[in-house]
Amino acid sequence: MATATIQDWTDSEVRITFGKHRDVQYRVFRDGDQLFQEIRDIDGSPIHTLELPEGMKLDQTSYEVLLRYVLLDVVA
């Protein structure tokens, strides 16, 4: 199966703690039966690719909430 874009690359400023934020880019795509959120630093270097649970196609606001959790949990 081919890769399909759900949401193309989107720039986001993610608040990490009070007064601190991180600029990132993310996209959401489907590869076969799996749904992924790929997160990169603003310079394009990879941060993390998150496999989303089956049936979890959300809106942009929900994807940005996931960004914050990934940045707090995986990166920090």
Residue 7: count of CB within 10 angstroms of its CB:
15
Residue 35: count of CB within 10 angstroms of its CB:
20
Average pLDDT rounded to a whole number, residues 9-29: 86
pTM for the whole structure? 0.78
Amino acid of residue 29: F
Q: What is the pLDDT of residues 32-69, one digit of tens each?
A: 888 899 999 999 999 999 888 776 667 677 777 787 87
